[in-house]
Amino acid sequence: MHINNHPILGERLHDPVTIYFNGKPLRAYQQQTIAAALIANDVKKFGESRKLMQARGLFCSRGRCCSCYMTVNGEDHVRTCMKMVEDGMEVFPNIGDPDVRGNNHGN
Ligand code: FES
């Protein structure tokens, strides 16, 4: 659920955009971080821990941990609680190790 009209902060969300989570289109607003947009769309699992394969999601919400890492537009390990949404952004959960030998990271 998006909070469109906060009783103290007023109207903050006014520029709708579409982001894609695992290829599925979601409504977001330019004034939101990726993590806030996902939570508002009821997405709570952002990835899995490497060794124990446990669910990860929003934890500190201020860029101090690594719980919200996701792959955004092909870039691995983006702190989604700190990055604002952009129209057409493609977001994938952080599951397993990144493809460090792939085209996005050089050879
Ligand atoms: S939730 Fe801790 S860095 Fe994003």
pTM: 0.84
State which ligand 1 atom lies nearest to the alpha carbon of 81: 4
CATH class of 5-95: alpha beta
pLDDT digits (tens, 9 = 90+) for 50-98: 888 899 999 999 999 989 999 999 998 999 999 999 999 999 998 866 5
Q: Ligand 1 center to residue 106 CA distance, Å?
A: 27
**Is the CB of 61 within 6 Å of ligand 1?**
yes
Domain spans, the chain: 5-95
**Is the CB of 55 within 6 Å of ligand 1?**
no
Q: Ligand 1 center to residue 79 CA distance, Å?
A: 6
d(CA 54, CA 15): 34
pLDDT digits (tens, 9 = 90+) for 5-56: 778 877 788 899 999 999 999 999 998 999 999 999 999 999 998 888 899 9
> Which residues, at least 6 apart from 20, have a Cβ–Cβ distance to it below 8 Å?
26, 88, 89, 90, 91
**Is the CB of 64 within 6 Å of ligand 1?**
yes
